[in-house]
């Protein structure tokens, strides 16, 4: 499909649906952490998702190539994916879904900074710089709030979520700026699932017992994550990245944390503090300004 210079209705609809899935994803990870150790859950999720994604690619005759120049960037991107989910899954053992959502979905903030340096035509203007400043203030505000931490180590969960967002931004930028762009979206996802599945399962025993208290509900939620959020959702997201401007995702980036906070409250009865609301509002306004074009 031909590249576009802005988000249209079709692309916007996909991004809104994906934002709902991402917001729900945080709450589901925290629930499944009750049955599986976080790092093992992350690795097992990638390993299980690899199979349906590969079958989909073969059945639909998607181009899968290791010789198009994407191999080494694909391995690096897979390492970023592994680091992102290692940090996120561990973070949700310590902090709330609401707090993790604010930090994790600062991703467009980091994409905008990287795109300014790496991608011609996506440079920051004074207005967009003001948006970056607002988003940063919102992140700091939420980070300093300790009114209702999930655990005594919540600050480490918050910081882990923030660094995970940087790795996620790194994936988005690599798709646009390296030979990984030659690979189809489904091949890009296969790189990420393969590397992260191997790495995370290999290191999972370092973080304690692999199995906690799994239940039929937890197995069902895990299956939904594998088939819908990872296999379908991330394939579509990578396709959007290959067609639409990376920085334009920023206008939709604020929806994911909104849904994350909502699902944390509905499914886990998490408190929503004024700092979370205020920080989220500043991040959202900042991201809208980041996406503003002259």
Q: What is the pLDDT of residue 251?
A: 60
Contact 80, 171 (CB under 8 A): yes
Residue with tokens 């979370």: 276
Q: What integer is the mean pLDDT of 56-85?
A: 93
Give the separation between CA 44 and CA 38, rounded to whole angstroms.
10
Q: What is the pLDDT of residue 248?
A: 66
Tell me whether residue 192 is in a domain: yes
Measured from the Cβ of residue 151, the count of other Cβ atoms closer than 10 Å reads: 12
Q: What is the pLDDT of residue 250?
A: 58
Domain tally, the chain: 1
Tell me whether residue 3 is in a domain: no
Tell me whether residue 2 is in a domain: no
Q: What is the pLDDT of residue 247?
A: 61
- The pLDDT > 90 percentage for the chain reads 41
Q: What is the pLDDT of residue 147?
A: 56
Q: What integer is the mean pLDDT of 266-275?
A: 85
Residue 199 has pLDDT above 90, yes or no: yes
Tell me whether residue 13 is in a domain: yes
Residue 249 has pLDDT above 80, yes or no: no
Tell me whether residue 4 is in a domain: no
Q: What integer is the mean pLDDT of 103-130?
A: 82
> Over the chain, what is the mean pLDDT?
86
Tell me whether residue 49 is in a domain: yes
11-42: pLDDT as tens digits: 888 888 888 888 899 899 999 999 999 999 99
158-196: pLDDT as tens digits: 999 999 999 999 998 998 899 999 998 889 999 999 999
The band of 293, judged by pLDDT with boundaries at 50, 70 and 90, is low
| Residue 83 DSSP code | H
Tell me whether residue 1 is in a domain: no
Report how far apart, in Å, the C-alpha atoms of 273 and of each of 59, 99, 124, 149, 170 are: 48, 10, 32, 10, 30
The band of 230, judged by pLDDT with boundaries at 50, 70 and 90, is confident
Measured from the Cβ of residue 55, the count of other Cβ atoms closer than 10 Å reads: 11
The helix or strand, by DSSP H or E, that contains position 250, with its residue range, turns out to be helix 250-253
Q: What is the pLDDT of residue 125?
A: 81
Tell me whether residue 21 is in a domain: yes
List the domain range (segments joined by +) for residue 87. 9-290
Q: What is the pLDDT of residue 34?
A: 93
Of residues 28 and 245, more confidence is placed in 28
Q: What is the pLDDT of residue 15?
A: 84
């Amino acid at each position: 499909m031909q590249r576009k210079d802005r988000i249209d209705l079709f692309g916007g609809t996909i991004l809104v649906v994906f934002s709902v899935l991402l917001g729900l994803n945080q709450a589901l990870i925290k629930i499944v952490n009750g049955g599986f150790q976080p790092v093992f859950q992350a690795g097992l999720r990638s390993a299980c998702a690899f199979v349906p994604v590969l079958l989909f690619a073969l059945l639909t005759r998607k181009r899968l190539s290791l010789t198009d120049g994407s191999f080494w960037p694909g391995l690096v991107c897979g390492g970023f994916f592994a680091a992102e989910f290692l940090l996120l899954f561990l973070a949700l053992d310590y902090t709330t879904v609401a707090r993790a959502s604010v930090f994790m979905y600062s991703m467009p903030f980091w994409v905008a900074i990287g795109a300014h340096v790496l991608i011609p035509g996506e440079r920051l203007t004074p207005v967009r710089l003001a948006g970056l400043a607002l988003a940063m203030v919102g992140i700091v505000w939420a980070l300093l709030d300790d009114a209702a931490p999930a655990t005594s180590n919540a600050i480490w969960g918050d910081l882990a979520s923030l660094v995970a967002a940087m790795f996620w931004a790194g994936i988005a930028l690599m798709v646009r700026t390296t030979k990984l762009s030659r690979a189809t979206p489904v091949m890009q996802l296969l790189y990420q699932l393969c590397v992260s599945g191997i790495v995370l399962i290999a290191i999972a025993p370092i973080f304690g017992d692999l199995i906690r208290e799994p239940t039929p509900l937890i197995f069902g939620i895990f299956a939904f994550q594998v088939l819908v959020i990872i296999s379908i959702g991330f394939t579509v997201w990578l396709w959007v990245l290959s067609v639409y401007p990376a920085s334009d995702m920023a206008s939709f980036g604020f929806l994911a944390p909104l849904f994350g906070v909502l699902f944390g409250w509905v499914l886990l009865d998490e408190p929503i503090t004024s700092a979370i609301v205020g920080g989220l509002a500043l991040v959202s306004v900042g991201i809208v300004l980041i996406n503003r074009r002259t």
